[in-house]
Every structure is written in structure tokens, then in C-alpha cells.
Structure 1
Amino acid sequence: MRAAKGDWLLMPGSTGSDHRIARVEEVLGRGDEPLYRVAFENGREAIVAPGPHAQVRSKKPGSESIRADSTYL
């Protein structure tokens, strides 16, 4: 899985129902190392290495437009 600046990460929470949505602001990882600086909807920023069930979307989740090459991280 590879995300680009401007993509959205949809990361399921520990209970499965509390998803976190964040916009990729910067790609920090190299090669197959998924590491991103993201901005969450509440304005908080963080460095994340998404888990195995995260998804990449080219548009904000809820718009139902998923990248053709989206896969689980």
C-alpha cells in the first residue's frame, strides 16, 4: 500500500467502530515503510504507521470514491 500527499487514511479503531480519518500531509517512509505525517479532522497532527486494516482513499471517506489501487496496509 502506498499513499500520496492529499490521500486520506481510514484507520479502524480498536473496537472496530471508531474509525480515525486523516489526510496525508507528507510521506516520510521510504520504499515499503508506510510512515506518514497526517492531519486528523479535529486539527491534530501526528506521525503514523498505519496498521494492517487501514485503507487509502483518494477522496475523504464518505464520498465513496476509492482509489483503484487501494489495498489494506
Structure 2
Amino acid sequence: MECIIEFQKPLVRYEFSCRTKQKILLEVLLKYSKLNLIDLALMLDISIATLLNAYKGKEFLQGKPAINLVHLLFIFFGE
């Protein structure tokens, strides 16, 4: 089974200059959704190592993966 998610150009600009903010978003998404690190990495089209480093606060996602992370939060918790 394959899952394809496409996002249109965002109406709101997201900037992640602080690693801890993005780390919190990842923690919330992993805790309250049924996703694990592997699923989330596949959905964001990044390596598991990159996602794990962002989760640990060692680096942060930029560009399309960062925007898609916020979109995923909206999808899972927007209702």
C-alpha cells in the first residue's frame, strides 16, 4: 500500500530557526498520531537519520520537509 500526500503552496510562511520548536512538533506528532519515525521520514521524504537528528534537537528541517511537517500536524489535529 502506498500513500501519496501532496500539498499546495502554503498560505502561511513557516520558519524554524529554533531547534526546540521543531523538536516539540515532532514529539507531539509521534506521540498522538499512529506514525513512527520510519513512517514520518517516508512521508516527509527525508532519511530516518535526518529525522532522528531533528527529533533529538541536533539539527532542524528546512524547506519542503519543514513545511510538510506543519501540514501533517494540521491534517492529524485539525479536526
Q: Give the TM-score category using the shorter length.
A: under 0.3
TM-score (norm: length of structure 2): 0.25
TM-score (norm: length of structure 1): 0.26
Q: Highest relative contact order (Cα 8 Å, sep 6+), 1 or 2?
A: 2
Q: Relative to total residues, which structure has the larger strand share, 1 or 2?
A: 1
Q: Relative to total residues, which structure has the larger helix share, 1 or 2?
A: 2
